[in-house]
A = this chain, B = another copy of it.
Amino acid sequence: MATTLRDIARLAKVSVATVSYVLNGVAKVSPQTRERVLAAMNQLNYYPNAIAKSLVKQRSHVLTLFLQDITNPFFPAVAKAVEDVAVRAGYSVILYNTGDQEEKEAAYVQMALEQRVAGIIFCTVRNRAAVQSALDQGTPVVIIEWPGNIPGTDVVQVDNVLGARLGTEHLIQLGHRRVALINWVLGSVIAGDRLKGYKQALAAAKIPFDPALLATYDFNDPDRDAVILKLLALPDPPTAVLAVSDAIAIATMRTLHRHHRRVPRDLSIVGYDDTLAALSTPQLTSVAQPIYQLGTTAAQLLLDQDRKRHPRRVTLEPTLVVRDSTAERRQLRRQ
């Protein structure tokens, strides 16, 4: 059996209250008793029982991080960041992979609430009701990258319009006028914002927007490479591509390779996220998201919530990392 405050009290010939005082430094304790208590704790190899503490405080020293899938290269850095901040404040972090499934989200929120966790960070959510049930139960919530508004939650996000604009502008500055955008299936706010940034860059350079240069990539589609071939088959094909993730960019490069287009000689490519960018050959130019900072900010907001009660929204800025997958547009032929 683990030793308890009572055991120490007995050994040190004081009351449990006194032991608790020296443990938490909350009340004045005379140096002599303090010493006696510390000695007893040492002798009995005492570990405080966080559970009992939590029962009194009605909150455990545990944060919860919800994400879609830790196996997706975007998330590990978030998890690391949250843990770094949490641990420094004496909190542990529980991780839940929701797989973007509403039922799992609901079930895991339920588990988290039963544990009386000190707060929840959603890095990805679909189930608004689940979020709401956490708020109803009084658990602080921070949401990462969810542009929808849920009153009572803090939000941390990255400026997606700016990111897409940066990537597109870079290509335009290299002389490209036919820039394709390979996006996710439209519908999400993020995909919409990326498109918006892309259009802004075109407009600023007075390049007309051509819907034919818009493609939609879906990893679940067995015929997913068709959209890329379709771009290549255009009468006036793109000389550059902005992909909305490094994974898509790499998949695109592979398809291009198979069809004897060379990067960046024949086509320039910009990725997004800067997670896999350094691994590919050639190394990808990519729009870097401040992923780690996303996590630390979220954790800080969460741990702060008691003090400042108003919902807050923090927007971080992406940056462009130039590597080897982008180059000046080749002049094809003199006219």
Contacts and interface: CB of A to CB of B under 8 A. Distances in A.
B114 A47 contact: yes
A2 B76 contact: no
Residue from A69, A73, A110 with most neighbouring chain B CB atoms (10 Å):
A73
Contacts of A61: 115
A92 B111 contact: yes
Interface string A35-63: 00000000001011111101100101110
A113 B49 CA distance: 8
A319 interface: no
A97 B85 CA distance: 12
A281 interface: yes
Interface residues of A, number: 52
A268 to B, nearest CB: 16
A245 to B, nearest CB: 13
Contact of A76 (B45, B76, B113): B76
A50 to B, nearest CB: 4
B76 A80 contact: no
Contacts of A80: 69-71, 97
A250 interface: yes
Contacts of A51: 51, 54-55, 60, 115-116
Nearest to A81: B71
A74 to B, nearest CB: 11
A248 interface: no
Residue from A50, A61, A69, A75 with most neighbouring chain B CB atoms (10 Å):
A50
Contacts of A250: 279
Nearest to A283: B254
Contacts of A97: 80, 83-84
Interface string A154-190: 0000000000000000000000000000000000000
Contacts of A60: 51, 115
A197 to B, nearest CB: 26
Contacts of A52: 55
B96 A137 contact: no
Contacts of A111: 87, 90, 92
A110 B110 CA distance: 27
A127 interface: no
A321 interface: no
A201 interface: no
Given A47-B137, A50-B115, A111-B92, A70 B79 contact: yes
A330 interface: no
15 contacts: A2-B137, A45-B136, A47-B113, A47-B137, A48-B114, A49-B55, A51-B54, A62-B62, A70-B70, A71-B76, A87-B96, A87-B111, A92-B96, A94-B94, A276-B279
Interface of A: 2, 45, 47-52, 54-55, 58, 60-62, 69-71, 73, 75-77, 79-80, 83-84, 87, 90, 92-97, 108, 110-116, 136-138, 250, 253-254, 257, 276, 279-281
Given A62-B94, A281-B281, 13 more contacts: A2-B58, A2-B116, A2-B137, A2-B138, A48-B114, A49-B114, A49-B116, A51-B115, A62-B115, A83-B95, A87-B108, A87-B111, A92-B115
